[in-house]
Structure 1
């Protein structure tokens, strides 16, 4: 039905296919992440900013563990699927058993160093143990997701992700209502049960495909491709969430909770970007295989306009979003939402260029550049947060994503010497639209404009980017 509707708009075959699969991924992202937004009024009223801060650090820690335990292999699976071979499930089986056995060993190692981790994270031991319990089933589920995404099984990916989010969220709320304090445990336990359910479903679907077989050539392919990606993903995680750990260390869990809530609202931008990216990547690989460079550039223009329009809307109406979604105790974090939105736009731009390096399997510099950006982020955070508070973390994230984009553009353009890549001109109009919205919103904020007048101004100003979006996409 959706496919037929899209065809009537005469958007072109490639954009129609992109939006067709993006619809599934974005729907899943909206429903899964949307549950996080919908339940923000519940969680921010049941948990104090201090408790929410502890939960945020827990989420950051589980993300770090999943990256380390996964060895970057899910990215290798997505790439191997497009190799000209007929042994994909033999390859998948080798990686399945390797990840499972290595993860068990890493779990033991983390338990040995639990005291040092406790001192660094400043969260309860119980949350550390729950994070460990989540990680192994999570990385196995991610391998299965990588296969489904490469196979363009977007509906199945969406269904599984929505199921996981719904189960874990509902259980968290039920458990939380039974508790009087330390309610972050409820969210962690709900997530653990949801992940274990997904692990069971994964084993059920893969039962006929997984063989007890480990081949050296398959592991070599994955580790050569994946290990640099581990460093890249860790550094990326630093850019996304490590600032919450640093805020918790330097200024306290309350400020961490405020920052985390603002970050979740800003992540609406990333939901759209990543939802489209999951559809973009296989189409991008196919077009490169067929050397259809003009098709890639045309699709990139439309993709960029869609993402930038979402950013404009979110910047203009961030006040309404935070007022509706969270308790007033968190409202002071409003000021950093536009900064986070712009940061995620630069994250999107960088992914447009890093995919060229992924396609050519040149992943070492990807890791290096992310280390540079991540190191910059850590250094600036430790330097600026003590003086300027959690607001500094939003600015350092924006600066780091800007550097990451520049480095990857230079790498693709001049180091890898790829002659035909997406032109920077593609992003000029989207960036102008976003800066325009940010400027208007800031002027309204500092001038203390009466609400109804400000709302009218924002709605009128939204017509301009909407006009460009409609005309360029149909053109």
Structure 2
């Protein structure tokens, strides 16, 4: 009973802190959007996109092995063996530091090649290494903290990083890098996360000195390396279009396109938080073989996210004007199809939990890598022909394929469909239709908001008649 309370408390803590931290970053978007030119905004977002790939290569997804390592090597308090979980974690930090050192030497020796490939100056590339190192270390820390439901540690580290990142960036852009605002943003982001990562590494080393590194890493990398292609492919799906726009067109258009992704972030934070609850509940129901319950609850979950995505498409022109300014208005034409892509990205989470449940992670890598390769090819073809807006539609299409691959794999693994295929197909057709509606009425605010309110009311009526969760929740309150 105490364990259940601890799990629930930790789950609530992680969810609230996730909203809080992402909310802080989201609230600063209007500030940075106005302080930076569209070109500076594009350069910084390209920098962030590169970091999303580089931090995976620096960490080699070693954090994913921590849960298994915790049971394989056990904590100091559980085992008298000199090789324990704490030692494993500190040894993994040595690997991350060595990879970073190697990349630092390589990049600075072949600086011309690095600058040519990435389209950034050498100082920015070195900051990119610092930023990626910090991200890899924090990822390891948060995974380690989650093993004992230490959400307080997660909150403290993440909140300090977010606040210091914002404050440093604002000061540097305002008073130091006035003409190169993107550089002030890069330094503020990299310096704050570096300070946090130094604290974490010292904490891990004090807890246990690195030892038996060869044996630890031979096992750890055997576990984590297959996950690297999946992680990189996810980044390609969400970030690579910005890099391609930056290289193929300009940093200014990359900035406009990147701004459109801020609307997608609202959906992403919502479904990633809800997925924590959904995946845990799914495992419990699979254990009970409650397939009827899975189909019923997944249907209301899918419907709710569909309605939420439609509403975001309908109101996104006003959201963009509030968060940014008139100079980002053209991002509306990217934001609407990107939001539809975000809905398909959410749909992927529904079947993927089946793959994780049965430990068929090779299927996850195959599905994600296939979608990522298609995304790159389509972007290369259509950006050159139709411009940066085309990337929004290729993103929408490849996220649809991303979901379709995993839905097919889950069906094969289970031997039956656990979810309502009819409902999913209906929402897929409807979300594409709503892209057209939102774009057609983009100049008609009353029509769009009227449809958004109508959809909200229809969903509330449908939910209460079929399930009654909302009313039951209010009665409990």
Which residue in the other structure is 2:321 paired with?
Answer: 323
Aligned-residue CA RMSD (Å): 3.2
- Of 254-263 and 100-109, deviating more is 100-109
The Cα of 1:469 is off from its aligned counterpart by: 4.5
C-alpha distance after superposition, 1:61-83 (max 9, x if no partner):
11111010111112222454577
Q: Against the structure 1 CA distance between its residues 264 and 451, is the aligned structure 2 distance closer, same or farther, given a 3 Å change threshold?
A: closer
Provide the rounded CA distance (Å) in 2 between the counterparts of 1:153 and 1:184. Answer: 35
Q: Against the structure 1 CA distance between its residues 194 and 277, is the aligned structure 2 distance closer, same or farther, given a 3 Å change threshold?
A: farther
- Of 30-39 and 17-26, deviating more is 17-26
Choose from 49, 55, 71 the match for 1:60.
49
- Of 454-463 and 186-195, deviating more is 454-463
The Cα of 1:129 is off from its aligned counterpart by: 1.1
> Are 2:327 and 1:338 equivalent residues in the alignment?
no
Which residue in the other structure is 2:418 paired with?
Answer: 423
Q: Against the structure 1 CA distance between its residues 213 and 245, is the aligned structure 2 distance closer, same or farther, given a 3 Å change threshold?
A: same
> Are 2:46 and 1:46 equivalent residues in the alignment?
no
- Aligned 1:194-273 pairs, distance under 5 A: 194-203=192-201, 205-206=203-204, 209-214=207-212, 216=214, 218-273=216-271
List runs of 5+ in structure 1 lacking aligned partners. Answer: 1-13
SS where residue 69 of structure 1 aligns?
helix
List runs of 5+ in structure 2 lacking aligned partners. Answer: 76-83, 473-477
Q: Against the structure 1 CA distance between its residues 222 and 418, is the aligned structure 2 distance closer, same or farther, given a 3 Å change threshold?
A: farther
Which residue in the other structure is 2:112 paired with?
Answer: 115
Given that residues 25 and 276 in structure 1 are in contact (C-alpha distance below 8 angstroms), is that contact kept between their aligned partners in structure 2?
no
The Cα of 1:54 is off from its aligned counterpart by: 0.7
Given that residues 78 and 149 in structure 1 are in contact (C-alpha distance below 8 angstroms), is that contact kept between their aligned partners in structure 2?
no
The Cα of 1:253 is off from its aligned counterpart by: 0.9
Given that residues 312 and 434 in structure 1 are in contact (C-alpha distance below 8 angstroms), is that contact kept between their aligned partners in structure 2?
no
SS where residue 319 of structure 1 aligns?
helix
Choose from 95, 98, 102 the match for 1:101.
98
Given that residues 149 and 278 in structure 1 are in contact (C-alpha distance below 8 angstroms), is that contact kept between their aligned partners in structure 2?
no
> Are 2:287 and 1:311 equivalent residues in the alignment?
no
The Cα of 1:205 is off from its aligned counterpart by: 4.9
Choose from 427, 446, 451 the match for 1:452.
446
The Cα of 1:366 is off from its aligned counterpart by: 2.7
SS where residue 317 of structure 1 aligns?
helix
The Cα of 1:176 is off from its aligned counterpart by: 0.6
- Of 24-33 and 258-267, deviating more is 24-33
TM-score (norm 2): 0.85
TM-score (norm 1): 0.85
Which residue in the other structure is 1:157 paired with?
Answer: 154
SS where residue 461 of structure 1 aligns?
helix
- Of 428-437 and 112-121, deviating more is 428-437
The Cα of 1:340 is off from its aligned counterpart by: 1.4
The Cα of 1:88 is off from its aligned counterpart by: 3.5
C-alpha distance after superposition, 1:360-405 (max 9, x if no partner):
4443343233222111111111100011111111111122222222
Q: Against the structure 1 CA distance between its residues 67 and 299, is the aligned structure 2 distance closer, same or farther, given a 3 Å change threshold?
A: farther
The Cα of 1:125 is off from its aligned counterpart by: 2.1
Q: Against the structure 1 CA distance between its residues 125 and 428, is the aligned structure 2 distance closer, same or farther, given a 3 Å change threshold?
A: farther
Given that residues 380 and 396 in structure 1 are in contact (C-alpha distance below 8 angstroms), is that contact kept between their aligned partners in structure 2?
yes
Which residue in the other structure is 1:181 paired with?
Answer: 179
